[in-house]
Structure 1
Protein backbone atom coordinates (compact mmCIF):
# COMPACT_ATOMS: atom_id res chain seq x y z
CA UNK A 1 0.00 0.00 0.00
CA UNK A 2 1.51 3.30 -1.14
CA UNK A 3 -0.75 5.73 0.69
CA UNK A 4 -4.11 6.59 2.21
CA UNK A 5 -6.06 9.53 0.82
CA UNK A 6 -8.68 11.00 3.13
CA UNK A 7 -11.63 13.21 2.31
CA UNK A 8 -12.29 15.81 5.02
CA UNK A 9 -15.90 17.00 5.43
CA UNK A 10 -18.14 14.19 6.61
CA UNK A 11 -15.28 11.67 6.54
CA UNK A 12 -12.71 12.71 9.11
CA UNK A 13 -14.73 15.46 10.78
CA UNK A 14 -18.48 15.92 11.19
CA UNK A 15 -18.36 19.28 9.44
CA UNK A 16 -21.24 18.78 7.02
CA UNK A 17 -23.49 19.93 9.86
CA UNK A 18 -21.35 23.06 10.19
CA UNK A 19 -21.79 23.73 6.49
CA UNK A 20 -25.54 23.23 6.91
CA UNK A 21 -25.64 25.97 9.55
CA UNK A 22 -23.79 28.35 7.25
CA UNK A 23 -25.93 27.44 4.24
CA UNK A 24 -29.14 27.98 6.20
CA UNK A 25 -27.87 31.40 7.27
CA UNK A 26 -27.00 32.25 3.67
CA UNK A 27 -30.42 31.13 2.46
CA UNK A 28 -32.07 33.29 5.11
CA UNK A 29 -29.85 36.21 4.07
CA UNK A 30 -31.07 35.75 0.49
CA UNK A 31 -34.69 35.67 1.65
CA UNK A 32 -35.45 31.98 1.37
CA UNK A 33 -35.10 28.56 2.93
CA UNK A 34 -32.87 25.79 1.60
CA UNK A 35 -34.66 22.53 0.86
CA UNK A 36 -33.43 19.21 2.22
CA UNK A 37 -33.08 17.88 -1.32
CA UNK A 38 -30.86 20.76 -2.40
CA UNK A 39 -28.70 20.38 0.71
CA UNK A 40 -28.17 16.67 0.01
CA UNK A 41 -27.26 17.48 -3.60
CA UNK A 42 -24.51 19.80 -2.38
CA UNK A 43 -22.60 17.15 -0.43
CA UNK A 44 -19.21 16.59 -2.01
CA UNK A 45 -19.61 19.32 -4.67
CA UNK A 46 -17.41 22.30 -5.46
CA UNK A 47 -18.24 25.68 -3.97
CA UNK A 48 -19.33 27.01 -7.35
CA UNK A 49 -21.67 24.08 -7.95
CA UNK A 50 -23.08 24.35 -4.43
CA UNK A 51 -23.90 28.01 -4.97
CA UNK A 52 -25.68 27.22 -8.24
CA UNK A 53 -27.74 24.56 -6.47
CA UNK A 54 -28.61 26.96 -3.65
CA UNK A 55 -29.53 29.88 -5.92
CA UNK A 56 -31.66 27.63 -8.14
CA UNK A 57 -33.36 26.12 -5.11
CA UNK A 58 -34.23 29.55 -3.75
CA UNK A 59 -35.13 30.92 -7.17
CA UNK A 60 -32.84 33.92 -6.79
CA UNK A 61 -30.42 35.59 -9.19
CA UNK A 62 -27.73 36.32 -6.62
CA UNK A 63 -24.05 37.10 -7.15
CA UNK A 64 -22.05 33.89 -6.70
CA UNK A 65 -18.95 35.60 -5.35
CA UNK A 66 -20.94 37.51 -2.75
CA UNK A 67 -22.74 34.35 -1.63
CA UNK A 68 -19.43 32.50 -1.31
CA UNK A 69 -17.93 35.34 0.73
CA UNK A 70 -20.94 35.42 3.08
CA UNK A 71 -20.94 31.64 3.54
CA UNK A 72 -17.21 31.21 4.04
CA UNK A 73 -17.01 33.97 6.64
CA UNK A 74 -19.55 32.11 8.76
CA UNK A 75 -18.12 28.66 8.18
CA UNK A 76 -14.59 29.85 8.96
CA UNK A 77 -15.73 31.16 12.33
CA UNK A 78 -17.49 27.85 13.08
CA UNK A 79 -14.44 25.83 12.01
CA UNK A 80 -12.26 27.93 14.30
CA UNK A 81 -14.41 26.94 17.27
CA UNK A 82 -13.24 23.35 16.72
CA UNK A 83 -14.64 20.45 14.72
CA UNK A 84 -15.98 17.12 15.93
CA UNK A 85 -14.15 14.03 14.72
CA UNK A 86 -16.10 11.27 13.05
CA UNK A 87 -16.04 8.06 15.15
CA UNK A 88 -12.74 6.24 14.81
CA UNK A 89 -11.09 8.96 12.73
CA UNK A 90 -8.34 10.12 15.13
CA UNK A 91 -7.52 6.53 16.06
CA UNK A 92 -7.25 5.47 12.41
CA UNK A 93 -5.05 8.44 11.56
CA UNK A 94 -2.79 7.67 14.51
CA UNK A 95 -2.47 4.02 13.47
CA UNK A 96 -1.72 4.91 9.87
CA UNK A 97 0.91 7.47 10.85
CA UNK A 98 2.46 5.03 13.34
CA UNK A 99 2.74 2.48 10.54
CA UNK A 100 4.64 5.01 8.42
CA UNK A 101 2.07 5.06 5.61
CA UNK A 102 1.97 8.34 3.63
CA UNK A 103 -1.32 10.23 3.90
CA UNK A 104 -3.02 13.03 2.00
CA UNK A 105 -6.09 15.17 2.64
CA UNK A 106 -8.23 15.52 -0.49
CA UNK A 107 -11.15 17.90 -0.16
CA UNK A 108 -13.49 20.09 -2.20
CA UNK A 109 -13.26 22.72 0.55
CA UNK A 110 -11.17 25.75 -0.35
CA UNK A 111 -7.68 26.01 1.08
CA UNK A 112 -8.14 28.94 3.43
CA UNK A 113 -10.91 27.00 5.21
CA UNK A 114 -8.87 23.80 5.17
CA UNK A 115 -6.11 25.65 7.02
CA UNK A 116 -8.63 26.45 9.76
CA UNK A 117 -9.87 22.86 9.86
CA UNK A 118 -6.28 21.64 10.21
CA UNK A 119 -6.21 23.24 13.65
CA UNK A 120 -8.45 20.31 14.65
CA UNK A 121 -7.09 17.71 12.23
CA UNK A 122 -3.41 18.41 12.83
CA UNK A 123 -1.23 19.36 9.84
CA UNK A 124 1.33 16.79 10.99
CA UNK A 125 -1.13 14.04 10.07
CA UNK A 126 -0.84 14.71 6.33
CA UNK A 127 2.08 14.59 3.92
CA UNK A 128 0.06 16.43 1.28
CA UNK A 129 -3.13 18.47 1.03
CA UNK A 130 -5.23 18.96 -2.11
CA UNK A 131 -7.89 21.62 -1.57
CA UNK A 132 -10.89 22.52 -3.70
CA UNK A 133 -9.32 25.61 -5.22
CA UNK A 134 -5.91 24.08 -5.93
CA UNK A 135 -6.96 22.59 -9.27
CA UNK A 136 -9.11 23.58 -12.23
CA UNK A 137 -11.09 20.36 -11.81
CA UNK A 138 -12.53 19.08 -8.54
CA UNK A 139 -14.57 16.06 -7.49
CA UNK A 140 -16.10 14.07 -9.22
CA UNK A 141 -13.21 14.60 -11.67
CA UNK A 142 -10.29 12.24 -10.94
CA UNK A 143 -7.75 15.10 -10.81
CA UNK A 144 -7.85 15.65 -7.01
CA UNK A 145 -7.02 12.03 -6.18
CA UNK A 146 -4.53 11.67 -9.01
CA UNK A 147 -2.80 14.82 -7.80
CA UNK A 148 -2.74 13.61 -4.19
CA UNK A 149 -1.11 10.33 -5.26
CA UNK A 150 1.45 12.23 -7.33
CA UNK A 151 2.32 14.43 -4.36
CA UNK A 152 2.93 11.28 -2.31
CA UNK A 153 4.91 9.79 -5.22
CA UNK A 154 2.47 6.91 -5.07
CA UNK A 155 0.63 4.74 -7.57
CA UNK A 156 -3.08 5.56 -7.10
CA UNK A 157 -3.87 1.90 -7.75
CA UNK A 158 -1.96 1.10 -4.57
CA UNK A 159 -3.69 3.80 -2.54
CA UNK A 160 -6.85 3.66 -0.45
CA UNK A 161 -9.25 6.60 -0.68
CA UNK A 162 -11.70 7.12 2.18
CA UNK A 163 -14.85 9.04 1.27
CA UNK A 164 -18.40 9.85 2.39
CA UNK A 165 -19.94 11.31 -0.78
CA UNK A 166 -20.88 9.93 -4.21
CA UNK A 167 -18.90 12.70 -5.95
CA UNK A 168 -15.80 11.90 -3.94
CA UNK A 169 -16.15 8.18 -4.54
CA UNK A 170 -16.57 8.77 -8.28
CA UNK A 171 -13.40 10.88 -8.27
CA UNK A 172 -11.36 8.30 -6.37
CA UNK A 173 -12.55 5.37 -8.47
CA UNK A 174 -11.77 7.24 -11.68
CA UNK A 175 -8.26 7.91 -10.36
CA UNK A 176 -7.79 4.18 -9.88
CA UNK A 177 -7.86 4.05 -6.08
CA UNK A 178 -9.28 1.34 -3.86
CA UNK A 179 -12.23 3.15 -2.28
CA UNK A 180 -13.82 2.86 1.14
CA UNK A 181 -17.16 4.58 1.70
CA UNK A 182 -18.26 5.67 5.16
CA UNK A 183 -21.74 7.23 4.91
CA UNK A 184 -22.48 10.47 6.73
CA UNK A 185 -25.20 12.70 5.28
CA UNK A 186 -26.09 10.69 2.16
CA UNK A 187 -26.51 6.99 1.47
CA UNK A 188 -23.92 5.07 -0.55
CA UNK A 189 -25.62 1.69 -0.92
CA UNK A 190 -26.38 2.31 -4.60
CA UNK A 191 -22.70 2.67 -5.54
CA UNK A 192 -20.59 -0.13 -7.00
CA UNK A 193 -16.94 -1.06 -6.49
CA UNK A 194 -16.88 0.55 -3.05
CA UNK A 195 -16.10 -1.11 0.26
CA UNK A 196 -18.72 0.27 2.66
CA UNK A 197 -18.19 0.51 6.40
CA UNK A 198 -20.42 1.94 9.10
CA UNK A 199 -17.57 3.72 10.84
CA UNK A 200 -13.86 4.43 10.52
CA UNK A 201 -13.58 2.51 13.78
CA UNK A 202 -14.20 -0.62 11.68
CA UNK A 203 -10.94 -0.10 9.77
CA UNK A 204 -7.41 -1.22 10.59
CA UNK A 205 -4.06 -0.79 8.88
CA UNK A 206 -3.82 -4.52 8.16
CA UNK A 207 -7.35 -4.54 6.79
CA UNK A 208 -6.58 -1.66 4.44
CA UNK A 209 -3.47 -3.42 3.22
CA UNK A 210 -5.46 -6.56 2.54
CA UNK A 211 -8.00 -4.59 0.49
CA UNK A 212 -5.29 -3.12 -1.72
CA UNK A 213 -3.63 -6.50 -2.17
CA UNK A 214 -6.94 -8.15 -3.08
CA UNK A 215 -7.85 -5.36 -5.50
CA UNK A 216 -4.56 -5.66 -7.31
CA UNK A 217 -4.88 -9.42 -7.56
CA UNK A 218 -1.64 -10.33 -5.84
CA UNK A 219 0.01 -10.05 -2.46
CA UNK A 220 2.29 -7.08 -1.88
CA UNK A 221 5.24 -7.12 0.46
CA UNK A 222 4.68 -4.73 3.34
Structure 2
Protein backbone atom coordinates (compact mmCIF):
# COMPACT_ATOMS: atom_id res chain seq x y z
CA UNK A 1 0.00 0.00 0.00
CA UNK A 2 1.22 3.49 -0.76
CA UNK A 3 -0.23 6.59 0.84
CA UNK A 4 0.32 10.32 0.84
CA UNK A 5 -2.08 11.07 3.69
CA UNK A 6 -1.82 10.75 7.46
CA UNK A 7 -3.01 7.49 9.00
CA UNK A 8 -6.19 9.15 10.23
CA UNK A 9 -8.68 11.73 9.03
CA UNK A 10 -10.50 14.36 11.05
CA UNK A 11 -13.91 12.88 11.77
CA UNK A 12 -17.04 14.93 11.31
CA UNK A 13 -19.54 15.26 14.11
CA UNK A 14 -22.34 13.96 11.91
CA UNK A 15 -23.15 10.30 12.43
CA UNK A 16 -23.42 9.10 8.83
CA UNK A 17 -21.16 10.92 6.42
CA UNK A 18 -19.09 9.90 3.44
CA UNK A 19 -15.49 9.62 4.61
CA UNK A 20 -13.74 8.19 1.55
CA UNK A 21 -14.31 6.84 -1.94
CA UNK A 22 -12.49 3.63 -2.90
CA UNK A 23 -12.30 2.75 -6.58
CA UNK A 24 -11.39 -0.42 -8.40
CA UNK A 25 -9.12 0.03 -11.42
CA UNK A 26 -9.60 -2.34 -14.37
CA UNK A 27 -13.03 -1.94 -15.93
CA UNK A 28 -14.10 0.61 -13.32
CA UNK A 29 -11.67 3.51 -13.59
CA UNK A 30 -9.96 2.58 -16.85
CA UNK A 31 -11.13 0.67 -19.90
CA UNK A 32 -8.71 -2.25 -19.50
CA UNK A 33 -10.79 -5.22 -18.38
CA UNK A 34 -10.92 -6.50 -21.95
CA UNK A 35 -7.15 -6.09 -22.25
CA UNK A 36 -6.57 -8.72 -19.59
CA UNK A 37 -8.68 -11.29 -21.43
CA UNK A 38 -6.94 -10.48 -24.72
CA UNK A 39 -3.56 -10.89 -23.05
CA UNK A 40 -4.59 -14.18 -21.47
CA UNK A 41 -5.75 -15.49 -24.85
CA UNK A 42 -2.49 -14.42 -26.51
CA UNK A 43 -0.26 -15.97 -23.86
CA UNK A 44 -2.15 -19.27 -23.88
CA UNK A 45 -2.12 -19.31 -27.68
CA UNK A 46 1.67 -19.07 -27.49
CA UNK A 47 1.53 -22.06 -25.13
CA UNK A 48 -0.57 -23.99 -27.63
CA UNK A 49 -3.97 -23.61 -25.96
CA UNK A 50 -7.22 -21.87 -26.90
CA UNK A 51 -9.26 -20.16 -24.18
CA UNK A 52 -13.02 -20.63 -24.21
CA UNK A 53 -15.19 -17.51 -23.93
CA UNK A 54 -17.25 -18.79 -20.94
CA UNK A 55 -14.03 -18.92 -18.90
CA UNK A 56 -13.85 -15.13 -19.08
CA UNK A 57 -16.66 -14.76 -16.54
CA UNK A 58 -14.71 -16.96 -14.13
CA UNK A 59 -11.43 -15.04 -14.28
CA UNK A 60 -12.71 -11.46 -14.59
CA UNK A 61 -12.05 -9.22 -11.63
CA UNK A 62 -10.17 -11.81 -9.63
CA UNK A 63 -6.61 -11.95 -8.34
CA UNK A 64 -4.00 -13.15 -10.80
CA UNK A 65 -3.22 -16.21 -8.70
CA UNK A 66 -6.83 -17.37 -8.97
CA UNK A 67 -7.31 -16.44 -12.62
CA UNK A 68 -4.00 -17.83 -13.82
CA UNK A 69 -4.38 -20.95 -11.69
CA UNK A 70 -7.83 -21.59 -13.09
CA UNK A 71 -6.64 -21.22 -16.68
CA UNK A 72 -3.72 -23.58 -16.08
CA UNK A 73 -6.13 -26.15 -14.64
CA UNK A 74 -8.72 -25.98 -17.44
CA UNK A 75 -6.18 -25.96 -20.27
CA UNK A 76 -3.61 -28.31 -18.79
CA UNK A 77 -0.87 -25.90 -19.86
CA UNK A 78 2.64 -26.98 -18.86
CA UNK A 79 3.63 -23.83 -16.98
CA UNK A 80 3.93 -22.84 -13.33
CA UNK A 81 1.75 -20.22 -11.72
CA UNK A 82 4.74 -17.94 -11.11
CA UNK A 83 5.95 -18.25 -14.71
CA UNK A 84 2.48 -17.51 -16.08
CA UNK A 85 2.03 -14.50 -13.81
CA UNK A 86 5.25 -12.98 -15.14
CA UNK A 87 4.19 -13.57 -18.75
CA UNK A 88 0.75 -12.04 -18.19
CA UNK A 89 2.08 -8.96 -16.38
CA UNK A 90 4.79 -8.42 -19.00
CA UNK A 91 2.34 -8.69 -21.88
CA UNK A 92 -0.24 -6.47 -20.17
CA UNK A 93 2.36 -3.80 -19.36
CA UNK A 94 3.36 -3.70 -23.01
CA UNK A 95 -0.31 -3.41 -23.99
CA UNK A 96 -0.79 -0.26 -21.91
CA UNK A 97 2.58 1.39 -22.53
CA UNK A 98 0.98 4.02 -24.78
CA UNK A 99 -1.57 4.93 -22.12
CA UNK A 100 -5.05 3.88 -21.07
CA UNK A 101 -8.48 5.38 -21.52
CA UNK A 102 -10.60 6.48 -18.57
CA UNK A 103 -14.10 5.07 -18.39
CA UNK A 104 -16.90 7.52 -19.26
CA UNK A 105 -17.57 9.81 -16.31
CA UNK A 106 -14.35 8.91 -14.47
CA UNK A 107 -12.45 12.13 -15.15
CA UNK A 108 -15.37 14.27 -14.02
CA UNK A 109 -15.90 12.20 -10.87
CA UNK A 110 -12.23 12.33 -9.90
CA UNK A 111 -12.21 16.10 -10.37
CA UNK A 112 -15.33 16.42 -8.20
CA UNK A 113 -13.77 14.34 -5.42
CA UNK A 114 -10.61 16.46 -5.53
CA UNK A 115 -12.55 19.73 -5.49
CA UNK A 116 -14.54 18.60 -2.44
CA UNK A 117 -11.39 17.24 -0.73
CA UNK A 118 -13.02 13.81 -0.47
CA UNK A 119 -10.24 11.24 0.03
CA UNK A 120 -9.96 8.76 -2.84
CA UNK A 121 -8.12 5.44 -2.97
CA UNK A 122 -7.42 3.04 -5.79
CA UNK A 123 -7.90 -0.58 -4.71
CA UNK A 124 -6.97 -3.19 -7.30
CA UNK A 125 -6.19 -6.89 -7.57
CA UNK A 126 -3.55 -5.94 -10.13
CA UNK A 127 0.09 -5.92 -9.08
CA UNK A 128 1.91 -2.74 -8.06
CA UNK A 129 3.89 -2.56 -11.30
CA UNK A 130 0.64 -2.48 -13.29
CA UNK A 131 -1.08 0.06 -11.02
CA UNK A 132 1.87 2.42 -11.25
CA UNK A 133 2.00 2.13 -15.03
CA UNK A 134 -1.72 2.91 -15.27
CA UNK A 135 -1.35 5.88 -12.93
CA UNK A 136 1.53 7.18 -15.03
CA UNK A 137 -1.14 7.65 -17.69
CA UNK A 138 -4.13 8.63 -15.55
CA UNK A 139 -2.33 10.73 -12.92
CA UNK A 140 -1.00 9.64 -9.53
CA UNK A 141 -2.34 12.85 -7.99
CA UNK A 142 -5.93 11.61 -8.13
CA UNK A 143 -5.36 9.13 -5.30
CA UNK A 144 -4.03 9.76 -1.81
CA UNK A 145 -3.71 6.02 -1.28
CA UNK A 146 -3.38 2.94 -3.48
CA UNK A 147 -3.61 -0.76 -2.59
CA UNK A 148 -2.22 -3.41 -4.96
CA UNK A 149 -3.09 -7.09 -5.08
CA UNK A 150 0.48 -8.16 -4.40
CA UNK A 151 0.71 -5.94 -1.30
CA UNK A 152 -1.98 -7.68 0.76
CA UNK A 153 -2.04 -11.16 2.24
CA UNK A 154 -5.42 -11.95 0.68
CA UNK A 155 -6.83 -10.04 -2.25
CA UNK A 156 -10.35 -9.78 -3.70
CA UNK A 157 -12.86 -11.34 -3.05
CA UNK A 158 -11.43 -11.24 0.48
CA UNK A 159 -12.25 -7.94 2.29
CA UNK A 160 -8.61 -7.26 3.22
CA UNK A 161 -7.88 -4.80 0.35
CA UNK A 162 -10.84 -2.58 1.25
CA UNK A 163 -10.27 -2.88 4.98
CA UNK A 164 -6.65 -1.86 4.34
CA UNK A 165 -7.74 1.19 2.34
CA UNK A 166 -10.29 2.28 4.94
CA UNK A 167 -7.75 1.85 7.74
CA UNK A 168 -5.23 3.88 5.76
CA UNK A 169 -7.66 6.80 5.82
CA UNK A 170 -8.71 6.16 9.42
CA UNK A 171 -12.23 5.76 8.05
CA UNK A 172 -15.09 3.50 9.07
CA UNK A 173 -15.69 0.95 6.26
CA UNK A 174 -19.44 1.59 6.32
CA UNK A 175 -18.75 5.27 5.64
CA UNK A 176 -16.70 4.39 2.57
CA UNK A 177 -18.29 4.21 -0.88
CA UNK A 178 -16.71 1.60 -3.12
CA UNK A 179 -17.05 1.64 -6.91
CA UNK A 180 -16.60 -1.77 -8.56
CA UNK A 181 -17.37 -3.46 -11.87
CA UNK A 182 -17.28 -7.18 -11.02
CA UNK A 183 -19.02 -9.54 -8.62
CA UNK A 184 -15.62 -10.44 -7.14
CA UNK A 185 -14.89 -6.82 -6.26
CA UNK A 186 -18.40 -6.22 -4.95
CA UNK A 187 -18.07 -9.27 -2.69
CA UNK A 188 -14.79 -7.94 -1.29
CA UNK A 189 -16.20 -4.48 -0.61
CA UNK A 190 -19.39 -5.73 1.01
CA UNK A 191 -17.50 -8.23 3.15
CA UNK A 192 -15.48 -5.26 4.40
CA UNK A 193 -18.73 -3.50 5.35
CA UNK A 194 -18.55 -0.81 2.66
CA UNK A 195 -21.43 0.61 0.63
CA UNK A 196 -21.07 -0.24 -3.06
CA UNK A 197 -21.80 1.27 -6.43
CA UNK A 198 -21.59 -1.47 -9.07
CA UNK A 199 -20.90 -0.51 -12.67
CA UNK A 200 -20.99 -3.95 -14.34
CA UNK A 201 -18.42 -4.43 -17.12
CA UNK A 202 -18.62 -8.06 -18.20
CA UNK A 203 -21.33 -9.85 -16.20
CA UNK A 204 -24.50 -8.37 -14.67
CA UNK A 205 -24.68 -7.47 -10.97
CA UNK A 206 -28.02 -7.28 -9.16
CA UNK A 207 -28.98 -4.42 -6.81
CA UNK A 208 -29.03 -5.20 -3.09
CA UNK A 209 -29.33 -3.48 0.27
CA UNK A 210 -26.44 -1.03 0.58
CA UNK A 211 -25.59 -1.49 -3.12
CA UNK A 212 -26.54 0.64 -6.10
CA UNK A 213 -26.16 -0.55 -9.68
CA UNK A 214 -25.60 1.94 -12.51
CA UNK A 215 -24.72 1.58 -16.17
CA UNK A 216 -21.92 4.16 -16.19
CA UNK A 217 -19.87 6.43 -13.94
CA UNK A 218 -21.66 9.25 -15.69
CA UNK A 219 -24.53 8.47 -13.30
CA UNK A 220 -22.32 8.85 -10.23
CA UNK A 221 -21.50 12.13 -8.51
CA UNK A 222 -20.73 13.29 -4.99
CA UNK A 223 -24.39 13.74 -3.91
CA UNK A 224 -25.10 10.24 -5.21
CA UNK A 225 -22.29 8.78 -3.11
CA UNK A 226 -23.31 10.72 -0.02
CA UNK A 227 -26.87 9.42 -0.32
CA UNK A 228 -25.51 5.90 -0.57
CA UNK A 229 -23.98 6.34 2.88
CA UNK A 230 -26.86 8.17 4.55
CA UNK A 231 -29.59 6.12 2.91
CA UNK A 232 -31.52 9.25 1.97
CA UNK A 233 -32.93 10.27 -1.37
State the TM-score, normalized to the length of structure 1: 0.93
> CA offsets, 1:72-94, max 9 Å, x none?
11100112211111111111111
Matching residue of 2:226: 209
1:159 and 2:163 matched = no
Q: Unpaired segments of 5 or more residues in structure 1?
A: none
Q: Distance in 1 between matches of 2:111 and 2:58?
A: 32
Matching residue of 1:104: 121
1:15 and 2:32 matched = yes
Q: Distance in 2 between matches of 1:21 and 1:82?
A: 17
Matching residue of 1:192: 208
Find 1:39's aligned residue among 34, 51, 56.
56
Structure 1 segments of 4+ aligned residues over 4 angstroms from their partners = none
State the TM-score, normalized to the length of structure 2: 0.89
Paired residues for 1:173-192 under 5 Å: 173-189=190-206, 192=208
Find 1:52's aligned residue among 69, 74, 96.
69
Provide the alpha-carbon RMSD of the alignment: 1.4
1:168 and 2:194 matched = no
Q: Distance in 1 between matches of 2:208 and 2:66?
A: 24
Q: Unpaired segments of 5 or more residues in structure 2?
A: 1-17
Structure 1 window deviating more from structure 2 (206-215 vs 109-118): it is 206-215
Shift of 1:143: 0.5
Q: In the comparison of the two structures, how many residue pairs are matched?
A: 215
Q: Distance in 1 between matches of 2:53 and 2:113?
A: 36
> CA offsets, 1:46-93, max 9 Å, x none?
111111111122122421111111111110011221111111111111
Find 2:91's aligned residue among 74, 83, 100.
74
Q: Judging by fraction of residues, say which structure has more helix.
A: 1
Shift of 1:121: 2.1
Q: Distance in 1 between matches of 2:87 and 2:32?
A: 18
Q: Distance in 2 between matches of 1:60 and 1:20?
A: 17
1:114 and 2:131 matched = yes
